[in-house]
């Protein structure tokens, strides 16, 4: 898909690496430029999850890329980056706002050297406004964007989503913007600056409820009866059964009355299911607690009621539909460990892009990249010995 497209990745944490991995999966030649010693995500992992000495937090967005270590504060390291910039198609960066500009690599400076470049800046809040200079972080953006206030039950208070959805959506929007800019460049030859930010991504995730609010409709209060939404008719949420939990989506009153043997719901209109949300949800919840999840999964679909079991990750991994979609891929790491990773989420002509190379160790490709840029062996050895550049393992042998 993106064969022949060269990408310089100046990314760390999650938003940036995830954005770049989409491009790498599609065949782009991605060179990840890391500080000497390796990027932040190599040295931290949620749940203290490591495979040998490799952080799973790094592995989840590091495949199909090359790694080079550079000290960009040293003019010689900066010059290496300039050589990469001059021959690349895309630069992606999610440095703290202003940091890359202080190193001399603003969009204006980069575009002056490479006018056709697509320069993608990923940030917390965007390039303008009172928070433009602040770093972005998923949980804080969930809070500021209203997502925490939208989520959770009446008794729970503001409830964060249990994963970094804003980072991941921000990464996806960044990749979308890059691809759109590349299409325009193919037609016009013109480069472009692409800005994607976490705050806009978080608002975009709330497209439906926020649009209701913008057009004068106030959302319902948070529910104490299992309702998972502040704008749907009841029932809609996760409900306890005799031995577990079950989710129920949109369903008509008569269908519920038949399936649950609840005459109180017979003849209920959709308007009543909105107006009597708490009452309907309470009635449904009480009845579901009387029988097992397996029982309701057999009964409810017969009446056209959308439902699903609440699953753990152990259940998800073994799900036949997840497997049919090719959701996971296996990688053998340089340290001898085996890793299992989430695959690219889109199929093309029926196939999901696979693993060309596992996530590299830090600086694994420093020598190869420097050689490809025309640096002679003695200069490469000097850069490695002096810390201008870094690589895993020992210095290359003297010719």
The catalytic site residues sit at 167
Q: Scanning the structure block, which residue is given the tokens 């020992």?
A: 394
Q: Round to whole Å and give the CA distance between 207 and 278.
A: 24
Q: Round to whole Å and give the CA distance between 40 and 236.
A: 41
Q: Scanning the structure block, which residue is given the tokens 């249990």?
A: 162
Q: Round to whole Å and give the CA distance between 283 and 375.
A: 74
Give 245's strand partners. 240
Q: Round to whole Å and give the CA distance between 294 and 301.
A: 12
Q: Scanning the structure block, which residue is given the tokens 């056209």?
A: 304
Q: Scanning the structure block, which residue is given the tokens 């959506």?
A: 169
Q: Round to whole Å and give the CA distance between 150 and 231.
A: 10
**Pair type for strands 65-70 and 389-390:** antiparallel
Longest dimension (CA), the chain: 88
Closest CA to 358 of 59, 152, 37, 19: 59
Q: What is the dihedral of CA 55, 60, 64, 68, to 10 degrees?
A: -40
Instruction: Annotate 87-142 with DSSP letters as a single string.
Output: H-SEEEE-PSTTHHHHTT--HHHHHHH-TT-EEEEEESS-SSSTTTTSPP-HHHHH
For the chain, what's the residue count? Answer: 399
Instruction: Annotate 284-325 with DSSP letters as a single string.
Output: HHHHHTTS-HHHHHHHGGGGT--EEE---HHHHHT-HHHHHT
Q: Round to whole Å and give the CA distance between 15 and 38.
A: 17
């Amino acid at each position: 898909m993106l064969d022949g497209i060269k990408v310089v990745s100046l990314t760390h944490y999650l938003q940036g690496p995830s954005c770049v991995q989409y491009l790498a999966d599609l065949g782009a030649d991605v060179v990840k430029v890391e500080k000497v010693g390796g990027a932040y995500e190599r040295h931290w992992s949620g749940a203290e999850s490591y495979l040998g000495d490799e952080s799973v937090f790094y592995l989840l967005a590091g495949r199909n890329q090359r790694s080079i270590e550079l000290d960009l504060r040293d003019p010689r390291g900066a010059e290496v980056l300039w050589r990469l910039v001059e021959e690349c198609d895309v630069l992606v960066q999610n440095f703290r706002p202003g940091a890359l500009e202080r190193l001399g690599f603003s969009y204006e400076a980069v575009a002056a050297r490479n006018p056709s470049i697509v320069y993608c800046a990923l940030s917390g809040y965007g390039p303008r406004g009172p928070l433009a200079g602040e770093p972005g972080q998923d949980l804080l953006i969930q809070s500021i964007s209203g997502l925490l206030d939208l989520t959770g039950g009446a008794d729970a208070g503001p409830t964060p989503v249990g994963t970094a959805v804003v980072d991941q959506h921000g990464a996806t929007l960044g990749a979308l913007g890059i691809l759109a800019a590349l299409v325009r460049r193919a037609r016009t030859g013109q480069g472009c600056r692409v800005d994607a930010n976490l705050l806009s991504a978080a608002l975009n995730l709330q497209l439906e409820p926020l649009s209701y609010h913008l057009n004068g409709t106030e959302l319902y209060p948070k529910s104490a009866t299992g309702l998972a939404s502040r704008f749907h008719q009841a029932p809609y949420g996760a409900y306890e059964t005799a031995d577990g939990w079950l989710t129920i989506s949109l369903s008509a009153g008569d269908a519920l009355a038949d399936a649950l043997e609840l005459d109180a719901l017979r003849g209920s209109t959709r308007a009543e299911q909105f107006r009597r949300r708490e009452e309907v949800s309470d009635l449904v919840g009480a009845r579901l607690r009387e029988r097992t999840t397996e029982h309701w999964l057999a009964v409810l679909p017969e009446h056209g009621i959308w439902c699903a079991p609440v699953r753990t990750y152990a259940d998800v991994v073994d799900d036949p539909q997840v497997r049919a979609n090719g959701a996971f891929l296996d990688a053998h790491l340089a340290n001898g460990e085996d890793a299992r990773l989430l695959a690219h989420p889109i199929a093309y002509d029926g196939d999901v892009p696979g693993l060309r190379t596992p996530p590299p160790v830090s600086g694994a490709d420093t020598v190869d990249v420097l050689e490809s840029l025309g640096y002679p062996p003695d200069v490469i050895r000097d850069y490695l010995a002096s810390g201008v550049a870094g690589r895993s393992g020992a210095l290359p042998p003297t010719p």
